Amino acid sequence: MKKQGGVALSGLLFWSIILVLVAVLGMKVAPTFIEYQKILKDAKATVNQVGPESTVADVRRTFDKFAEIDMLDFKSSDLDVSKDGGKIVIEFAYEKRIPLFWNVSLLIDYKGSTAGS
């Protein structure tokens, strides 16, 4: 007589719960990561659009235009604008707190720079 192989109900429930928790976590984290990617894209587009002779105010104004198009809540006042070797470099860092359940939340530190572009 062959022994039947399969999944027990308890194993199925356990792995289903794990899968649902990972999916919910992914659905909560994904929007913040997408927002970070948009901010980085807008910062790189700003550096590409403005010239090396631009002022900090010009850079912030240009970033605000890109951020308005992408509907970002991130403000240009949170950017650190500097020059490195005659090139404009934009850096930013911020925290995002994602409430998970009860009094448990996930804190993510996002940092970005246009120095590599």
Residue 1 pLDDT: 67
- The three state secondary structure string of 28-69 is HHHHHHHHHHHHHHHHHHHHHHCCCCCCHHHHHHHHHHHHHH
Distance in angstroms (rounded) separating the CA atoms of residues 58 and 51:
10
Q: Are 70 and 38 in contact (CB under 8 A)?
A: yes
Condensed to tens digits (0 to 9), the pLDDT of residues 40-88 reads 999 999 999 998 889 999 999 999 999 999 999 999 999 999 998 889 9
Residue 10: Cβ within 10 Å count: 8
Q: Element (H or E) spanning 90, and its range? A: strand 87-101
- At residue 86, the 3 state secondary structure works out as coil
pTM of the model: 0.84
